[in-house]
Amino acid sequence: MMYKLKVAVVGATGYTGLDLVYLLSKHPNVKLTNLCATKNLGKKISFYDKRIKKKLPLISSINSIDWKNLDLVFLSLPNGEAQKIIKKNYKKNKNLKYIDLSADFRIENHKIYTRNYKLNHKAKDLIKNSLYSISEFNKNKIKNFKIIANPGCYPTSILIPLIPVLKKNLINNKDITIDSKSGYSGAGKNFKKKFKHKNLFSSAYAYSVNNHRHTCEIDQEIYRQTKKKIIYSFNPHLLPTFRGMLSSIYIKTKKNVKPETIRSVLLHFYKNSKFIKILKLNSQIGSGNVINTNNCEISICKTKIRNKIVIFSAIDNLMKGAAGQAVQNMNLIYNFSEKAGLK
């Protein structure tokens, strides 16, 4: 009989948590042992999500977890909570691994974390045991870490198309504009408290133009992957759609670098990546094709300005931008099929 990982999901009833539970409930190598939340304890998870048909543990408190009898914990919580939980339980089980979907372990420098998230880091000594993991960049490293920091949705949509191009030194690093648009689910179930603009469900909204907190994550990973610093503007927008994300990256290529070259570099870099889809040159693109999938679709388009092109990148912010990538990271850690639970 095939051994199944004993897995807990903490924060199981948020938007990302529910997608996680749904994916894991269909995963052939997973046994869900705990679905933790703070409200509606004792209820079925289908109380929140009718997609989940499988008989699963009832919603329970985190205090019900037997930490010594687990293989993996997914933490889908507000920033600041995962670090406290991991620190408290880290030594209880030396084989237990954590995949954290908040920002708690994404930033290597705890001072930069505090500056951007206005929280003092409660587990500074454990940051060295964590790995920031966009799955496609860490297939060989990920098994060596106990704590996996799942990336933010905006950085995922930006770093996947940008890093291979920066590595090849094909573009002007000082002339980049990034315009990203996301469904409102990216702000979590309390999005109405975060966004109070007029006609929330029927209007687009630009916010955090000067310094969105994900920029420190983008800066860190670009330098870590390419040893380059770039100068760019990043402009996030909220759309009146539940899920989906489209990033438009405006770049100036170096002399004689054609859009075909950019596409060829991305095709080669992601030739063995199951979820990265490079479209034909100048393809029209939106988030519609990637909704409810773990795919990232990329289109390279010419503009009427010489040496200026746009790279479009579409993901589902709750899937490749959160729960789907978390499951993909789990698959890599345990040598499962990379697509397991994600078809």
Give the pLDDT confidence of 45-97 residue by residue, as tens digits: 998 888 988 899 999 999 999 999 999 999 999 999 999 999 999 999 999 99
Residue with tokens 């995963």: 27
Residues 6+ apart with CB under 8 A from 272: none
The percentage of residues in the chain with a pLDDT greater than 70, rounded to a whole number, is 96
Task: Quote the pLDDT of residue 194.
Answer: 62
Alpha-carbon distance of 173 to 188, in angstroms, equals 33
The answer to whether 151 and 214 have CB atoms below 8 angstroms apart is no
Task: Quote the pLDDT of residue 212.
Answer: 74
Average model confidence (pLDDT) across the chain:
93
Q: Pick the closest to residue 331 from 17, 15, 82, 26 (CA basis).
A: 26
Task: Quote the pLDDT of residue 196.
Answer: 63
**CA of 228: how far to CAs of 248, 252, 323, in Å?**
21, 16, 29
Alpha-carbon distance of 205 to 295, in angstroms, equals 25
pTM for this prediction: 0.94
For residues 262-272, average pLDDT: 97
Map out the domains of the chain with their CATH numbers: 5-151+321-333 (3.40.50.720), 154-317 (3.30.360.10)
Task: Quote the pLDDT of residue 204.
Answer: 82
Question: Is residue 189 over pLDDT 80?
Answer: no
pLDDT confidence band for 214 (50 / 70 / 90): confident
Alpha-carbon distance of 209 to 176, in angstroms, equals 15
For residues 184-196, average pLDDT: 63
Task: Quote the pLDDT of residue 301.
Answer: 97
For residues 216-225, average pLDDT: 95
The answer to whether 153 is a known catalytic residue is yes
Q: Pick the closest to residue 105 from 128, 89, 85 (CA basis).
A: 128
Task: Quote the pLDDT of residue 265.
Answer: 97
DSSP state of 17: H
Alpha-carbon distance of 101 to 73, in angstroms, equals 11
**CA of 169: how far to CAs of 112, 254, 312, 322, in Å?**
27, 8, 19, 29
Task: Quote the pLDDT of residue 175.
Answer: 86
DSSP state of 35: E
Scored b (16 or more CB within 10 A) or e, 7-41 reads: bbbbbbbbbbbbbbbbbbbbbebbebbbbbbeeee
Name the token pair of 142.
């990920």
The answer to whether 131 and 115 have CB atoms below 8 angstroms apart is no
Give the Cα-Cα-Cα angle 201, 203, 204 (nearest 5 degrees). Answer: 120
Higher pLDDT, 296 or 241: 296
Most confident of 180-184, 189-193, 205-209, 316-320: 316-320
Q: Pick the closest to residue 38 from 7, 64, 66, 71 (CA basis).
A: 64
The overall longest dimension of the chain from CA atoms, in Å, is: 63
Please give the order of strands across the beta sheet that includes 59-60. Answer: 59-60, 30-36, 5-10, 72-75, 97-100, 147-149, 130-132
What is the pairing mode between strands 30-36 and 72-75?
Answer: unpaired
For residues 143-166, average pLDDT: 97
* 3-state SS class at 159: helix
The answer to whether 59 and 13 have CB atoms below 8 angstroms apart is yes
Alpha-carbon distance of 37 to 78, in angstroms, equals 12
The catalytic residue among 153, 216, 296, 301 is 153
Most confident of 187-191, 198-202, 313-317: 313-317
Question: Is residue 119 over pLDDT 70?
Answer: yes
In sequence order, the β-bridge partners of residue 239 are: 183
Question: Is residue 186 over pLDDT 70?
Answer: no
* 3-state SS class at 173: coil
Task: Quote the pLDDT of residue 199.
Answer: 73
Alpha-carbon distance of 94 to 82, in angstroms, equals 17
